[in-house]
Amino acid sequence: MTSAPADKPSDVLVDVKNLCFRRGGRVIFEGVSLQIRRGEVTAIMGPSGTGKTTLLRLIGGQLRPDSGTVTVLGQNVHKLGRDALFRLRRRMGMLFQSGALFTHQSVFENVAFPLREHTDLPEPLIHDLVLMKLQAVGLRGARDMMPSELSGGMARRVALARAVALDPTIMMYDEPFAGQDPISMGVLVTLIRRLNDALGLSSVVVSHDVVETSQIADTIHVLSEGRVVESGSPEELARSESAWVKQFMRALPDGPVAFHYPGPSLEDDLLGVR
């Protein structure tokens, strides 16, 4: 790491520098740089398909960038060997968009999974820890249910309990609000902020839900077409002069991002010779 005393480098948990990434010839990122600071909730926003999930997978070391570096907790993720990467991942929690619960195991066993895999704790202690994590997400009473019996919001909260089971330093959320009804949306919004502050986590929330994300984020990075187009606090972004950011933050149907996907003109399609 470079010495930049003014920037207090120890406060930067994740440092993404000049990240470039291509997938099947398509450029997803061309020179993305951003930082995630200790104790904050950092949001990464952008329309669907900009590569938000891809960015989380790059940070977690599941994908390899074409160029650029990702430094997590002072370690270059893509220079680590498999064992070192797995050690680093124990300090990262990730909430997948789908929840990714193990469908053949009960809620209790799902949350116990990381504890059983990574610790030698005796069964009574695992039992208590799991119930504490489930209590934190309000689902202690659902411990014996199977994932197929849970509603979408409950499944996501169970996945959240599982992700924080090992007390990670960094929590990453992939679209935590997508497809939720207003009540479970509100529950998740407060839960993410509360867990962040109560457990002393640092959180990365990837989302395209502007209102909910603005409520809890300390810093927002807006991604578009492979770049960070603007960064700042929610208030700063709300006052942004950029036409693109305005359209995105205020959810206007047409603007720099056209409503119509590029294609031949309507006249050609309907009246043209075939």
Partner 1 sequence: MLGFFALLGRKTLDSFGRLGRATLFLLRALAGLPSLLPRPTLVIQQLYSIGVLSLLIIVVSGVFVGMVLALQGYNTLVTFGAEQSLGVLVALSLLRELGPVVTALLFAGRAGSALTAEIGLMKTTEQLSGMEMMAVDPMKRVVAPRLLAGFIAMPLLAAIFSFLGIMGAYVVSVATLGVDDGAFWSQMQSAVDFREDVMNGVIKSLVFGFVASWIAVFEGYDCEPTSEGVSRATTRTVVHTSLAVLGLDFVLTAVMFG
Ligand X SMILES: Nc1ncnc2c1ncn2[C@@H]1O[C@H](COP(=O)(O)OP(=O)(O)O)[C@@H](O)[C@H]1O
The count of residues interacting with partner 1 (CB under 8 A) is 25
Q: Which two tokens stand for residue 35?
A: 């930082």
Contact call for residue 157 and partner 1 (CB under 8 A): no
Cβ distance to ligand X smaller for residue 48 or 148:
48
H/E stretch holding 103 reads none
The torsion defined by the Cα of 51, 224, 89 and 37, in degrees rounded to 10, comes to -170
Q: How far apart are CA 191 and CA 133, in angstroms?
A: 12
Report if residue 60 touches partner 1, rule: CB under 8 A: yes
Sheet with 202-207, edge to edge strand ranges: 92-95, 170-174, 202-207, 41-45, 219-224, 227-232
Q: Contact at 8 Å (CB) between 203 and 41?
A: yes
| Distance, CA of 128 to CA of 161 (rounded, Å) | 13
Q: Please say which residue, 53 or 247, places its beta carbon nearer to Mg ion.
A: 53
* Window contacting partner 1 (CB under 8 A); options: 17-25, 156-164, 214-222, 250-258: 156-164
Binding string, residues 41-80; x marks residues near ligand X by CB under 6 A: -------xxxxxxx--------------------------
Residue span 67-106 as binding mask against partner 1, x where in contact by CB under 8 A, dash where not? ---------------x---xx-xx-x-x-xxx-xxxx---
Minimum CB distance to Mg ion, residue 242 (Å): 23
* Bridge partners, 207 (sequence order): 45
**DSSP letter, residue 66:** S
Q: Which residue ranges make up the site for partner 1 (CB under 8 A)?
A: 57, 60, 62, 82, 86-87, 89-90, 92, 94, 96-98, 100-103, 113-114, 117-118, 159, 162-163, 166
